[in-house]
């Protein structure tokens, strides 16, 4: 298996953890990512320490508390493939979060370095920017959960729905150079879900000089590390593919560079 694929446990641990990526395990500096599955009534409590967090309710309902925030029951989709925006909670560094599942819950915890510049807040589905990107068989649906236009110190969080037979993160693009205003350096994780679950996605990660050039079969519940390079995704016919992206770097801006060989596929400007 590629060392860029991080597969979850077959069974959650006592805390409900299925998958963990840390900067240390990934070999980079910024992005952390975890997935928890909690049974109804089960709680998870963690300190954020020196990292900010975005809690994304992938499916299920819960209550969430921080030092300054208490939510009532939140969450409305019971599967990511309902394709409606999620409830999420932003939590700054130097805080804590406690999540109590009301129904069975799948929770993503996205983290990056925090500077304490923001307060905890609930991100309602109505506040998530929804857009259709691409055209033809590179059309996909985007949910901008925590874009650069919304307050945070480091994190950028977005989810993407790719219909079967379509491509996304396409034409291939990269963001691995700290060269603003032309390109920003952002580490990135992809957390994949596939419907039906017996299917798979294909993801390629490659650099211009092909010193990194991997094409991976990605299964339901797998995460992919993108430390550098271009990173397109393909959803085979018959299988819809969802992924949650977490990005962070020295500057909180998404400025990408298209693969020149494939830039001709960019949709025409209106």
Q: How confident is the model at residue 184 (pLDDT cuts 50, 70, 90)?
A: very high
> Which range has the worst mean pLDDT, 58-62, 159-163, 260-264?
260-264
State the Cα–Cα distance between residues 43 and 64, nearest whole angstrom.
Answer: 10
pLDDT value at residue 37:
98
The pTM assigned to this predicted structure is 0.96
Overall average pLDDT of the 68-83 stretch = 96
**Beta strands 223-226 and 5-6: pairing type?**
antiparallel
Which residue, among 211, 169, 174, has the nearest Cα to 190 in the 3D structure? 169
Give the helix/strand (H/E) hosting 24: helix 23-26
Q: What is the mean pLDDT of the chain?
A: 96
Which residue, among 208, 28, 19, has the nearest Cα to 110 in the 3D structure? 19
CA dihedral 62, 66, 72, 73 (to 10 degrees): -10
What token pair was written down for 93? 């560094």
pLDDT in tens, 204-245: 999 999 999 999 999 999 999 999 999 999 999 999 999 999
- Secondary structure class of 249 (helix, strand, coil): coil
Backbone angles phi, psi at 32, to 5 degrees: -125, 150
Cβ-based neighbours of 195, under 8 Å, separated by 6 or more? 79, 81, 239, 240, 241, 242
pLDDT value at residue 267:
72
pLDDT in tens, 118-158: 999 999 999 999 999 999 999 999 999 999 999 999 999 99
State the Cα–Cα distance between residues 176 and 209, nearest whole angstrom.
Answer: 14
State the Cα–Cα distance between residues 249 and 119, nearest whole angstrom.
Answer: 21
Which residue, among 112, 150, 145, has the nearest Cα to 244 in the 3D structure? 145
State the Cα–Cα distance between residues 226 and 204, nearest whole angstrom.
Answer: 10
**Side-chain-facing half-sphere of 270: CA atoms under 13 Å:** 2
Q: For residue 162, what are the CA distances in angstroms to 2, 11, 176, 238? A: 23, 27, 24, 11
Does the pLDDT at position 2 exceed 90?
Answer: no
263 DSSP assignment: G
Residue with tokens 């089960």: 42
Overall average pLDDT of the 165-189 stretch = 97
Which residue, among 34, 134, 128, 136, has the nearest Cα to 83 in the 3D structure? 128
């Amino acid at each position: 298996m590629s060392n860029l694929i991080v597969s979850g446990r077959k069974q959650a641990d006592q805390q409900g953890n299925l998958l963990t990526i840390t900067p240390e395990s990934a070999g980079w500096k910024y992005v952390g990512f975890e997935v928890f599955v909690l049974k109804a009534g089960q709680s998870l409590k963690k300190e954020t320490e020196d990292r900010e967090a975005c809690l994304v309710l992938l499916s299920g309902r819960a209550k969430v508390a921080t030092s300054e925030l208490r939510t009532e029951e939140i969450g409305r989709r019971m599967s990511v493939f309902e394709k409606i925006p999620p409830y999420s909670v932003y939590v700054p560094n130097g805080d804590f979060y406690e999540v109590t599942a009301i129904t069975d819950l799948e929770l993503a915890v996205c983290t990056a370095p925090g500077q304490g510049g923001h307060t905890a807040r609930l991100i309602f589905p109505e506040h998530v920017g929804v857009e259709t990107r691409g055209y033809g068989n590179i059309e996909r649906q985007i949910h901008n959960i925590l874009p650069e236009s919304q307050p945070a110190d480091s994190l950028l969080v977005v989810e993407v729905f790719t219909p079967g037979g379509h491509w996304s993160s396409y034409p291939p693009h990269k963001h691995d150079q700290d060269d603003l205003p032309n390109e920003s350096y952002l580490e990135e994780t992809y957390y994949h879900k596939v419907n039906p679950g017996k299917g798979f996605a294909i993801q390629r990660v490659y650099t211009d000089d092909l010193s990194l050039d991997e094409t991976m079969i990605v299964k339901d519940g797998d995460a992919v590390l993108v430390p550098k390079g271009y990173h397109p995704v393909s959803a085979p016919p018959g299988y819809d593919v969802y992924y949650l992206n977490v990005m962070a770097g020295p500057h909180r801006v998404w400025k990408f560079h298209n693969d020149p060989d494939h830039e001709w596929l960019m949709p025409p400007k209106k």
